[in-house]
Amino acid sequence: MAQANIELLTPASRAEIDTWVAKYPPERKQSAVMAALRIAQDQNAGWLTTELMDAVAAYLGMTPIAVYEVATFYSMYQLEPVGRHKINVCTNISCLLRGSEDVVKHLQQRLGIKLGETTADGRYTLKEVECLGACVNAPVAQIARQYYEQLTPELIDRIIDGLE
Amino acid sequence: MVTIEINGKPVQARPGAMLIEVADEAGITIPRFCYHKKLSVAASCRMCLVEVEKVAKPLPACATPVTEGMKVWTRSPKAIAAQRNVMEFLLINHPLDCPICDQGGECDLQEMAMGYGRDVSRFHEGKRVVASPDIGPLVATDMTRCIHCTRCVRFGEEIAGVMELGAPGRGEHMHIGTYVEKSLSSELSGNIIDLCPVGALTSRPYRYSARPWELKAHASVSPHDCVGANLHLDVRGHNVMRVRPRENDEINEVWLADRDRFSYLALAHEERLLAPQIKRDGAWQTVDWNTALTAAAQGLRSVMQNHAARQLGALAGYGATTEEFYLLQKLLRGLGSNNIDHRLRQLDLSTQEAIPAFPWLGQALADLDNLDAALLVGSNVRKEQPLVALRLRKAARGGARLMAVNPVDYDFNFPLAARRVVDPAAMSQELIAIAQSLLELNGEQAPEGFAALAAGVVVLDEHRLMARNLKDAAQAAVMVGNTVAYHPQQGALLMLASLVARLSGARFGILSEGGNSAGAWLAGAVPHRRAGGEASDSAGLDWRGMVSGGLKGYVVLNVEPELDCIDGAAARAALAAAECVVALTPYVTDAMRDYADVLLPIALFPETSGTQVNVEGRWQGFAGCTTPPGQVRPGWKVLRVLGNLCNLDGFDYDASDEVRNELEAACSAVLPSSKLVWKAPAALPTRGSGLSRIIDYPIYSVDGMVRRSAALQNTPDATAGVARLNAAMAAQYGVATAARVRVTQSGGTCVLPLVLDERVPNGCVHVPAGVATSAMLGADAVLELTAAE
Ligand code: SF4
Ligand code: FES
Ligand code: FES
């Protein structure tokens, strides 16, 4: 059996994961898996390699497939290299009713990529996500940790121009 | 008990039971996909919806506990409408490719679609297509057919204890898979074929070879380990097309090990011996049975005439039927020799007199589920008796503290509460330390001779923990595994392990090696006991005596000594030097052609009737279900005729049942026991310098059939033989960077790939037996290891 290499997680990552593990009872340390995956993703330019997921599994005493299940379930985790700016467009029901299709169309035209793709220069990744919980200001997109609401093509252009 | 009403019929139920269980017991069918009585409740498929009084919405019967006075309708208009609607959803993405699906004819989805589906689908949109990963040689995948019941996932997680399949993805993209493409490594993986209610997971070797309605199921028993799993052999014409479990809650429940399920692939192996052959002037000739049997009888008689009856010996394989063992020993003893043995993997037979009538588990297999503590001694139970490991896992999930004293830190599918991994030579010290700690706990006098053994043995906290766990448990067991059988101080280990059991109030059990060891002992296929455990008139030679003494004539039954004997090289040499070797064998090998003089083709277990006695002492008879190929005959018939041709009385059987009845009468007074009368082992040898060998038989190398099952040989557990040692030892012996090493033991040498493995303790190298690459090694205590270029 290939041994997962816990060392792939940086000491800083491991220390941060430990603070999450400490929040749960000792026999439930796998509850920290979502935080651990986010931390692992952050240390690796925003995406998770299989080896990193295996390291998380070993670190938390889980079977690898259980970690893959989590990582493939949530759209916040990236399993392939992503652009510097990950643009998550909500296409769920409220946003759909409020014009998310136009948002997607405009972004695709402006960036020259389709949903799920990354620009050749590695600057942008365009991603479709489920409800971001901000329906009240639909349509909505998330870039990094920031929400952008009531989007229009003009607003989108301004936002993109403002990204370094 | 509570009383509920299902479809107007009152039914008694255990409080807290789920509706579906209660209905099943009452013989009322509720459709289902995700529910399985041996798995946790997922309640995800919703096929089991039923109407319950005073509840507005239909409820899933698999997740609804019964309560007093509950009124349930499984076939009311509301229930049927719910079931039909669920079925419609399930079929939305199903490919409906039944004509090319192996599950067709025995598919739950097909059946339930007949019962609950509409005749035309209202879904006109595109269906989902899912890629089918390669998960190894045993299980074929067609994942587009999957209905996401997650039975296969729950099986891995809950029962087998290795979660390899999962459900990555979400919503429309969720699918069952391994994420990283790989072969399943579980020794129980074939069970997901039975569990999958559709054709998503099917048997790969069986693929496209038959339809279920062409098959006739025959009851049989697996000969590959001492559990004696119950089988259904599905036969078409004269061929076994596949093997499925036959449900028996006391033995295998609904499970099978892959070894039991896929060994049938060796029935038609090219090395099958299909006709009798005799060696004339060094050349092999195919002859008729009469000629061959006459030559065999003649050969045995001439050994007696030219030498003596005690120059005859018999070596039998572990998987022979009890009837074959019985007739073999009757033949030999009839001719005047007690030289008969089947324990070809045991190096140390010094305690044979102390062993009761047969090596017994000390309890029923089902009792293992309820253990509170168990100590495994020298056991890789997961790979030796996979279905026993499954029960131990069940116990562990119920809180049992399982512990091990082992020569390798084996990967178990249950957690260990304590473990000691030591050089095999130090295992007895470990048991002495545990016994010592029990004596202290009990405030008891040491049994005679113990103090001398215990001198200088250090009792560690881990030993005390083991002692306390065993002693505090209401149900405890100490069980020795196959590594003890292969151990050069087996006798001492058995004595000490049984002492630990006695001092802690635990049951003592032996997980015997091979398939039918119990049957062999009871039938008298040991030199010192006749059938029924009665002492031999004079002690015969055990296999070591027969091999080192070099007899003039041998009868070999269903065994390939060059691989199946723990000192294969010596066995082969002894056979080659004999005047007459009669081999009753299902397969013929080059080695056999070299040493044998008469080859008599005998049937494999699906082709003969017989009895297997399992480790609980349960006699399990089975009938032959296919005609053997070519001129092959059941072993008991061949032995019967040989008896006649040797002019022996009492060989006039018409059916194998008559043989069994005779033996059962002889065994009528036998009570299973695992009590060993304490006799202090002689001073234990101190460990010399040098490397010692840890020896075991890998799961797919245990017998001729398993070794010839192509599918099993392609799994990750199959091995052609490697040498394993830890990095420190590798550095000490200067082989750290070598890809291959040369291993020399008792003058035999082989070159094996080197694998660094930290589970192997210092001072040891782990080299498996039962594989061709290591067959030339002998049985000396130390071996030499150098780098091979
Ligand atoms: S593969 Fe079969 S057992 Fe597994 S989830 Fe799909 S339908 Fe169920
Ligand atoms: S649907 Fe878009 S934020 Fe809720
Ligand atoms: S069987 Fe009850 S929900 Fe699947």
For the beta carbon of residue B649, count every other beta carbon within 10 angstroms.
8
A with B: how many residue pairs have Cβ under 8 Å apart? Answer: 35
Backbone angles phi, psi at B760, to 5 degrees: -90, 130
Distance (Å, whole) CA B78 – CA B63: 18
CB contact under 8 A, B163 and A66: yes
Exposed e or buried b per residue across B112-149, where buried means at least 16 C-beta atoms within 10 angstroms of its C-beta? bbeebbeeeeeeeeeeeebebbebbbbbbbbebbbbbb
How many CA within 13 A on the CB side of residue A26? 0
CA of A131 from ligand 2 middle (Å) equals 4
pLDDT digits 0-9 by tens, B409-459: 999 999 999 999 999 999 999 999 999 999 999 999 999 999 999 998 999
Q: Which of B21, B62, B74, B85 to mutate to test the pocket of ligand 3 (most atoms within 8 A of CB)?
A: B62
Contacts of residue A2 in chain B, CB cutoff 8 Å? none
Q: Spell out which chain A residues touch chain B, with contact meaning CB-CB distance below 8 angstroms.
A: 1, 50, 63-66, 68-69, 71-74
- Collapsing DSSP states into helix, strand and coil, what is residue B359? coil
pLDDT digits (tens), chain A, 164 positions: 345 788 999 999 999 999 999 999 998 999 999 999 999 999 999 999 999 999 999 999 999 999 999 999 998 899 999 999 999 999 999 999 999 999 999 999 999 999 999 999 999 999 999 899 999 999 999 998 899 999 999 999 999 999 87
Q: Give CA torsion, residues B143, B148, B154, B155, to 10 deg.
A: -40
ipTM, 2 decimals? Answer: 0.84
Are B417 and B402 in contact by the 8 Å Cβ rule? The answer is yes
E strand or H helix at B553: strand B553-557
Contacts of residue B160 in chain A, CB cutoff 8 Å? none
Are B360 and B617 in contact by the 8 Å Cβ rule? The answer is yes
pLDDT digits 0-9 by tens, B358-391: 999 999 999 999 999 999 999 999 999 999 999 9
Q: Which residues line ligand 1 at a C-beta cut-off of 6 Å? A: B 146-152, 176, 195-198, 200-201
Are B435 and B493 in contact by the 8 Å Cβ rule? The answer is no
Burial class (CB in 10 A: 0-12, 13-18, 19+), B88: middle
Which tokens is B499 given? 């002492």
Distance (Å, whole) CA B750 – CA B569: 12
- Determine contact: B623 vs chain A, CB below 8 A: no
In the numeric block, the tokens 């007199």 are attached to B353
- Angle CA B762–B768–B774, to nearest 5: 115
Which tokens is B282 given? 């060094």
Lowest mean pLDDT among B113-122, B162-171, B542-551: B113-122
Q: Which of A1, A65, A74 sits opposite B178 (nearest CB)?
A: A65
Please report the atom of ligand 3 found closest to the CA of residue B45: 4
- Determine contact: B179 vs chain A, CB below 8 A: yes
The pLDDT, as a whole number, for residue B788 is 86
For the beta carbon of residue B153, count every other beta carbon within 10 angstroms.
22
Q: Which of B164, B166, B173 sits opposite A69 (nearest CB)?
A: B166
The pLDDT, as a whole number, for residue A3 is 59
The pLDDT, as a whole number, for residue A159 is 94
- Amino acid identity for residue A158 in this structure: R
Q: Please state the length of chain A.
A: 164
CA of B146 from ligand 1 middle (Å) equals 5
Q: Which of A89, A131, A148 to mutate to test the pocket of ligand 2 (most atoms within 8 A of CB)?
A: A131
User: In whole angstroms, how far apart are CA B491 and each of B72, B481, B486, B497, B702?
Assistant: 62, 13, 11, 10, 23
Q: Give CA torsion, residues B74, B78, B83, B88, to 10 deg.
A: 170
Residue B767's nearest CA partner among B404, B486, B394, B399 is B486
CA of A89 from ligand 2 middle (Å) equals 9
CA of B251 from ligand 3 middle (Å) equals 27
pLDDT digits 0-9 by tens, B576-589: 999 999 999 999 99
Exposed e or buried b per residue across B172-195, where buried means at least 16 C-beta atoms within 10 angstroms of its C-beta? eebbbbbbeeebbebbbbbbbbbb
Q: Please state the length of chain B.
A: 789
- Determine contact: B286 vs chain A, CB below 8 A: no
Are B431 and B497 in contact by the 8 Å Cβ rule? The answer is yes
Residue A53's nearest CA partner among B698, A62, B752, B278 is A62
CA of B429 from ligand 3 middle (Å) equals 53
CA of A160 from ligand 2 middle (Å) equals 21
The secondary structure of residue B529, as a DSSP letter, is B
Contacts of residue B170 in chain A, CB cutoff 8 Å? 72-74
Mutation site, B152, B157, B163, interface A, largest A CB count within 10 A: B163
pLDDT digits 0-9 by tens, B172-208: 889 999 988 889 999 999 999 999 999 999 999 999 9
Q: Chain A residue closest to B184 (CA)?
A: A1
pTM for the full predicted model: 0.93
In the numeric block, the tokens 């479709």 are attached to A128
Q: Chain B residue closest to A66 (CA)?
A: B166
Please report the atom of ligand 3 found closest to the CA of residue B46: 3
Are B742 and B751 in contact by the 8 Å Cβ rule? The answer is yes
Q: The dihedral of CA B557, B563, B565, B568: what is its sign? A: positive
Q: Give CA torsion, residues B244, B247, B251, B254, to 10 deg.
A: 70
Residue B161's nearest CA partner among B323, B408, B393, B430 is B393
Q: Give CA torsion, residues B392, B393, B399, B403, to 10 deg.
A: 60
Which tokens is B391 given? 């029960």
With a 6 Å cutoff on the Cβ, whether B35 touches ligand 3 is yes
In the numeric block, the tokens 């999958």 are attached to B196
Contacts of residue B192 in chain A, CB cutoff 8 Å? none
The pLDDT, as a whole number, for residue A1 is 39
Residue B771's nearest CA partner among B693, B709, B706, B697 is B697
Are B557 and B701 in contact by the 8 Å Cβ rule? The answer is no
Query: SS3 letters for B304-327?
Result: HHHCCHHHEEEEECCCCCHHHHHH
CB contact under 8 A, B162 and A73: no
For the beta carbon of residue B301, count every other beta carbon within 10 angstroms.
17
Which tokens is A149 given? 């609401």
- Determine contact: B120 vs chain A, CB below 8 A: no
Distance (Å, whole) CA B613 – CA B19: 39
Q: Which of A94, A127, A147, A151 to mutate to test the pocket of ligand 2 (most atoms within 8 A of CB)?
A: A94
Are B646 and B355 in contact by the 8 Å Cβ rule? The answer is no
The pLDDT, as a whole number, for residue B304 is 95
Angle separating helix axes A33-42 and A11-21, nearest 10 degrees:
160
Q: The dihedral of CA B657, B662, B663, B669: what is its sign? A: positive
Distance (Å, whole) CA B770 – CA B39: 36
For residue A115, give how far its alpha carbon lies from the nearest alpha carbon of chain B (Å): 16
